[in-house]
Amino acid sequence: MIEILNELEALRERVRDWKRGGLRVAFVPTMGNLHDGHFSLVRLARTRADRVVASVFVNPTQFGPNEDFAHYPRTPEADARGLEAAGCDAMWLPSVETMYPYGVDATVRVQVPRVTEVLEGAHRPGHFDGVATVVSRLFNQVQPDVAMFGRKDYQQLAVIRYMVRDLAFPIEIVGADIVRETNGLAMSSRNQYLSVEERSQAAAIHRCLQVMADAIRAGHPREAVEREARERLVADGFAPDYAVVRRHDLTEPADGDAGPRVALIAARLGRTRLIDNLEFDA
Ligand code: PAF
């Protein structure tokens, strides 16, 4: 049976017990409304540790003023059932007061430089400050040995890695492969906002990423590849925020450079903003 923990002391005691027994603890942070992408993180966590804790906390500090914090779906019972089936031992379900005892506006904030200044960071000002702020707290609360993050949020993973190294958290960070629907659409809580028609339309993002990777591998100039990708997305009914190819550290590669690359897209389809990426070698 999964144990649902709401009090920090109870969480700490449970993790302390496990560690005293020599057990390794894995952590999967989430905002709930869980889908197969999250459950695959839990299953991966099980292979890396003896006990798995997942948090479910809709974090107010990472939502912008025009984003969907109030309406973000909260489904803790279904989440608990899904986590249990995936092999999770404990669900950490803190209140906003437990997470931010001085209140959301008076909280100590963690601000990661550089990697937060581009792409998602540029389109969603303050978003990554909120993510780093809550994840640093979650790390202090759970004190895991290893934590799992999906590679779908490519830049988020880069932010977490930067923070963990810079603040010397003794935690191994594992990036897990993107889980896709059969049509290629990356799994995301936001997909539920898509109509049936939009769901099949949204698969065009993954196809566009593949076209971008093929074009770069074939030696096409990066800026032309990015422009054509934006045009292709618009033709397919999206409003793209960006469609870019970057080095793995998210800096801009020069044409002709070889090495690991990532193509990243953020685009709106109707009222839903979708992000996806594809890692490849150029
Ligand atoms: O990826 C998410 O769901 C959130 O950004 C995270 C890491 C749980 C922090 O709130």
**pLDDT for the residue 271:** 92
Rounded-to-integer distance, Cα 176 and Cα 224, Å: 30
Among residues 128, 116, 94, which one has the least CA distance to residue 12?
A: 94
Cite the active site residues: 38
Contacts for 155 with CB less than 8 Å, ≥ 6 apart: 115, 116, 118, 119, 120, 121, 128, 250, 264
**pLDDT for the residue 166:** 98
Distance 275 CA to ligand 1 centre (A): 14
In angstroms, how far is CA 218 from the centroid of its own chain?
Answer: 30
| Nearest Cα residue to atom 5 of ligand 1 | 131
Residue 48's SS3 state is helix
Rounded-to-integer distance, Cα 49 and Cα 221, Å: 44
**pLDDT for the residue 66:** 85
**pLDDT for the residue 257:** 86
128-145 residues labelled b (16+ CB within 10 A) or e (exposed): bbbbbbbbbbbbebbbbb
Which superfamily does 189-281 belong to?
Answer: Pantoate-beta-alanine ligase, C-terminal domain (3.30.1300.10)
The structural domains of the chain, with segments of one domain joined by +, span: 3-176, 189-281
Mean pLDDT of residues grouped by 10 in the chain (282 residues)?
98 98 98 97 98 98 92 95 98 98 97 97 97 98 98 98 98 98 95 95 98 97 98 98 97 91 98 97 94
Distance 150 CA to ligand 1 centre (A): 10
Ligand 1 in contact with 155 (CB < 6 A)?
no
**pLDDT for the residue 103:** 98
**pLDDT for the residue 256:** 82
**pLDDT for the residue 245:** 98
What's the CATH architecture for 3-176? 3-Layer(aba) Sandwich (3.40)
